[in-house]
Amino acid sequence: MTPKFRDNKQKSAVSKSDAVYRTLKRAILDQALAAGTKLPEDSIGERLGVSRTIVRQALARLNGEGLIELRPHKGACVSQPSLEDGRNIFAVRRTLETLVVDSLIGKLTAQQIKQLEAHVDAEDKARLENPSTSIQLAGEFHVVLAELTENGVLSRYVTELVSRSSMILSLYGRPHSSDCAVSEHRELIAALAQNDREKACELMDHHIEAITTRALLKSSPEKDFPDLLAAYAREEGL
């Protein structure tokens, strides 16, 4: 096997693993795969047309983000966080995201501000066309902010907490208008652009608090597993 062929094969495997990861993640956060649902590697691989090795890689990433549980000798299943877990997650997230904003004051370039504005524009557009995508983009906005700090540890923890928060909201969150996220994100960007540390930190603190208060218990109907991934897989080209 030539080095070039080997590299292309490895890139293809990584690409497929990413697609499987995104497919499962969206299905979990949309509650198409309910809390406690078993995630057998062979069934997922057969449904998505990939090897069990690729499925295993995707499941490892989801486990790292707290979206699934990998149980010895029992396989994987979708996580079942409690409301107490949710309160703890949002408490830590509130502190870390305020640190993110504090770290960015006076450091963002004009291009980075435009990057953030473009992201929120995409949120706003999706709000009307695809609410599920809008909510996904709203979470990713916080990940982008963390990445801009260039602090790998902070970015990694915020990314995990955003994923866990999304799951908590999908399980317990009451319906809300995505207008809230868009307007609050725009205000935050404006404060960052003006290097207003106090206002930016206050806005982020209020924003996370507002997200936290949406956590209300609601039931989740059970769904059959086999065909749930079809629509998500098509979007990822699987």
Q: Residues 35-59: pLDDT tens digits?
A: 899 999 999 999 999 999 999 999 9
Q: Is the pLDDT of residue 184 over 70?
A: yes
pLDDT on residue 131: 73
Q: What is the pLDDT of residues 144-153, one digit of tens each?
A: 999 999 999 9
Tell the CATH topology of 8-80+221-235. Answer: Arc Repressor Mutant, subunit A (1.10.10)
Q: Does the pLDDT value for residue 24 go beyond 80?
A: yes
**Res 20 pLDDT > 80:** yes
Q: What is the pLDDT of residue 48?
A: 92
Residue of 131, 134, 154, 130 lying closest to 144 (CA atoms): 154
pLDDT at 235: 62
Domain boundaries, the chain: 8-80+221-235, 83-212
Topology of the domain comprising 83-212: Four Helix Bundle (Hemerythrin (Met), subunit A) (1.20.120)
CA angle, 135 as apex, 207 and 211 as ends, to 5°?
25
Q: Are the beta carbons of 154 and 100 closer than 8 angstroms?
A: yes
| pLDDT, tens only, 77-129 | 999 998 889 899 999 999 999 999 999 999 999 999 999 999 999 999 988 88
